[in-house]
Amino acid sequence: MMLARQHELLWRVGLVLCFLPSTAHAASAVPNFIVAGIPPAGFPHFENPASITLTKSGSGPTASFLLTSASTSSNFIFQYNPNSAYTVSGTYSLSANFNATGSFTGGNLSIYGTMPEYNGPGIAPAPTTQNLFSANLAGFGSDIVPDNSPVALGFKTDNFSGWATQFSDGSAESAYLYNFNVPGLMSMFANPKFRTITFQGSAMTTVPIPAAAWLFGSGLALLGLIRRKPTSVVKLLKGEV
C-alpha cells in the first residue's frame, strides 16, 4: 500500500514537471510589495518600463486628479514563471481617477500587442496584435514610507478580458507602479499650485492563475500554489485534493 502511494506521488510530480515550459529566456524575482488591501504580485505577470504622470484639473473641492501610466518601450516581457520570460511587442496603459481629497474613484488598464514567442504546453500563442490583458481597477493603496523597499502604488484588478484570461479563475489580482519617487508623487495631492508632474518607473501586472490549470496540461497552477499556498501543494501531491 505504501509503495503504491509512493508511485502515485511520483507520477503526480512527474506529470506536473513534464508540462513545464522548456524555453528559458530570463530569470525574475517578484518585489515584495506590501500595500494594504492589494493582492501581492506573482506569476505569471507582465513587466515593463513605464512613465507615470499625475495631472490636476479644477481647484478646491471640485478638483480632480488623473494618474496615467504608459509603457516607454514597445518591447517588454511576459514572465511565465521565475525562469521563463517571453517578449511582448505592444503597449501598456493605466488610467486611475482621484477626487479632490486624493481618494481613488476608479480606473482601468490594458496591455495590447503581440507575443509570437510564447507557445507553452496546451496554451495558444498570441501571434497577432490583440488585447493581451485588460482589467478594471477596483482598489488602490500605496506604500510611501521611504525606509520600506520597494515603495509602490498598488491597484487591485478584476473584470478581466483578453488573451491572458485563459489563466484566470476570476479572482482579484494586482498591478503595481514602482521604481520612482512615490513620496514625491503623493505629496502633489496636497499642493494647491500643482498641475502636472511625470516620473519614470516600472509597472508589474499579475495575471490570475486558475486553481486546476495543471489538469489541462500546464504547470501554472502548481507554480502559483508553491508561491501562495504551500499547504495546498502538499495536499495536491498527497492526493488529498
Q: What is the pLDDT of residues 17-42, one digit of tens each?
A: 333 333 445 667 888 888 989 999 99
Residue 241 included in any domain? no
Which three three-digit cell numbers place residue 37? Answer: 488591501
Mean pLDDT for 160-171 is: 77
* Category of 217 on φ-ψ map: left (φ > 0), alpha (ψ -120 to 50) or beta: left
Residue 234 included in any domain? no
Check residue 169 and give its pLDDT: 65
Specify the pTM: 0.75
Residue 84 included in any domain? yes
Check residue 170 and give its pLDDT: 66
| Residues 122-165: tens digit of each pLDDT | 667 778 899 999 999 999 998 877 666 678 999 999 998 988 88
Residue 45 included in any domain? yes
Residue 60 included in any domain? yes
The dihedral formed by the CA atoms of 233, 19, 158 and 30, expressed in degrees to the nearest 10: 70
Q: Quick one: 232 exposed, middle or buried, by C-beta within 10 A (0-12, 13-18, 19+)?
A: middle
Q: Which range marks the domain in which residue 190 is found?
A: 24-212
Number of domains in the chain: 1
Residue 134 included in any domain? yes
Contacts of 234 (CB under 8 A, 6+ apart): none
Residue 148 included in any domain? yes
Residue 217 included in any domain? no
d(CA 148, CA 64): 29
Asked whether the bond before 150 is cis by omega within 30 degrees of 0, the reply is: yes
